[in-house]
Amino acid sequence: MRATLFYTVLRFGLFIVTFGLLWVAGVSGVLLLALAILISGVLSYFLLNSQRAAMSGVLSRRLTDFRERLDAGTRAEDDD
């Protein structure tokens, strides 16, 4: 959860910075929003790669733990 929240905050911050820079550059209206979304998305893909990998690892471990608990519960029911 912590890795996911941190990644989300970083992406949002990158969007705000991109939005601000485009606004200062004189872009306005819908074009400002569209460009900010597009540019911050591309930048986050390259700049936040390590955070995305960390988030993926955390989610993978949680899924593995969940599957193990689910299998343990199924085996316990089968033994009854």
Predicted local confidence at residue 49, as pLDDT: 77
Q: Which two tokens stand for residue 16?
A: 């705000």
Q: CB neighbours of 27 closer than 8 A, spacing ≥ 6? A: 35
Q: Is the CA virtual torsion 22, 27, 32, 34 positive or negative?
A: negative
Task: Write down the pTM of the prediction.
Answer: 0.63
Nearest to 10 by CA among 52, 39, 57: 52
Confidence band (pLDDT; 50, 70, 90) for 67?
Answer: confident
Helix ranges (H only) for 1-80 are 2-24, 29-47, 49-79
Q: What are 2-52's pLDDT values in tens digits?
A: 777 888 898 999 999 999 999 999 999 999 999 999 999 999 888 877 666
Predicted local confidence at residue 24, as pLDDT: 97
Confidence band (pLDDT; 50, 70, 90) for 73?
Answer: confident
Predicted local confidence at residue 1, as pLDDT: 66
